[in-house]
């Protein structure tokens, strides 16, 4: 769940689309060489296994589900169980770096998050996985697919696009509110909610953020946010970026499903040509929902994913 990232059809974006996002010939080389120096972290995960598997084990054609900013694997628990059931495949719901129970690291950008997922695939011996990512997780999936296409069978990118976009963001305010909660020595969820209400009117968003509260030690009464707030605050300026600029130099030639919310502004019509340039075998599905379409319209999301991933006769 990545709140407030809105790709606007600016003159720069229109020019990028019309010009095919031309970039320096050295762009791809710089990106790949920098990726080789990335220090990865081991990702914590939940494995959801189907009652009637259609694959021999959890390493064969698994699905990896990735959350958005300020989210965690528990946000995807329900949909992961449903996809495991309907597709007969094992589903790994992961916590990306600096989220949930995964380790914290000073670097937080898409190349780093993609490197973590790539290492996760290698360490667990996963073969031909499907990547499903929402918002920040969607850009992570796209980045890994373009960077290491041999590791990935296909992707499902949920309400985000392979572009650099301006952040029209409430993130900084949310982080300020969460820091205030941390300083308050609160012991009650209701007290933390009262503090956050100064920073966000929507109860839905507040409850989402409060899902990151925890007691850092057994027996502790005070609750704090498990997120590394200073690290994420520094990363905000980069989370609207996309590391690949030139689809003439790098493409993902395997199937890709892009799902967007009809009431969301994250994937405007203007960026569809760019999606096709980076992901020439893409399918676009519109779901009657806003940005949080997995929770807003889970049945439509489920149908789109199952239709995309079901074996074709």
Residues serving a catalytic function are 135, 291
Contact yes or no for 116/124 (Cβ under 8 A) = no
Contact yes or no for 141/66 (Cβ under 8 A) = yes
Cα 158 from chain centre: 8
CA distance 165 to 187: 38
CA distance 73 to 305: 18
Query: Angle CA(88)–CA(91)–CA(93) in degrees, nearest 5?
Result: 160
Q: How many CA atoms lie less than 13 Å away from 278 in the CB half-sphere?
A: 29
* Residue 92 to residues 43, 131, 138, 293, 306, Cα–Cα distance (Å): 11, 10, 15, 20, 16
Coil, strand or helix: which one is 46?
A: strand
For residue 64, list its beta bridge partners. 92, 131
Task: Report, in this order, helix, strand and coil percent for the chain, each rounded to 5.
Answer: 40, 15, 45
The DSSP result for 108-165, as a single string, is: -SHHHHHHHHHHHHHHTT-BSPEEEEETHHHHHHHHHHHH-GGG-SEEEEES--SS--
Lookup: tokens for 157 = 């990118």
């Amino acid at each position: 769940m990545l709140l407030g990232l809105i790709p606007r059809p600016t003159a720069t974006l229109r020019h990028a689309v019309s010009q095919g996002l031309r970039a320096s010939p050295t762009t791809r080389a710089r990106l790949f060489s920098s990726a080789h120096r990335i220090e990865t972290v081991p990702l914590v995960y939940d494995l959801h296994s189907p009652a009637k598997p259609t694959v021999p084990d959890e390493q064969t054609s698994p699905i990896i589900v990735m959350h958005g900013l300020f989210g965690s694997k528990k946000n995807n628990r329900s949909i992961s169980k449903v996809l495991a059931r309907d597709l007969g495949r094992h589903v790994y719901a992961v916590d990306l770096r600096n989220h949930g129970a995964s380790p914290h690291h000073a670097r937080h950008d898409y190349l780093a998050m993609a490197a973590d997922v790539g290492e996760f695939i290698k360490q667990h011996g996963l073969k031909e996985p499907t990547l499903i990512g929402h918002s920040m997780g969607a850009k992570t999936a796209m980045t890994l697919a373009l960077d290491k296409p041999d590791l990935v069978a296909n992707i499902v990118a949920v309400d985000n696009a392979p572009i650099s976009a301006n952040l029209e963001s409430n993130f900084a305010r949310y982080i300020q509110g969460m820091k205030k909660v941390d300083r308050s020595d609160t012991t009650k969820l209701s007290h933390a909610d009262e503090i956050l209400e100064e920073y966000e009117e929507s109860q839905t968003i507040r409850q989402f953020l409060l899902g990151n509260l925890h007691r850092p030690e057994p027996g502790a009464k005070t609750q704090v946010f498990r997120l590394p707030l200073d690290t994420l605050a520094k990363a905000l300026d980069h989370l609207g970026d996309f590391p690949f600029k030139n689809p003439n130099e790098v493409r993902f030639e395997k199937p890709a499903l892009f799902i967007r919310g009809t009431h969301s502004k994250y994937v405007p019509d203007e960026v569809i040509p760019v999606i096709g340039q980076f992901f020439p075998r893409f399918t676009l599905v519109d779901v009657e929902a806003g940005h949080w379409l997995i929770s807003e319209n889970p049945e439509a999301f489920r149908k789109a994913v199952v239709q995309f991933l079901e074996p074709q006769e």
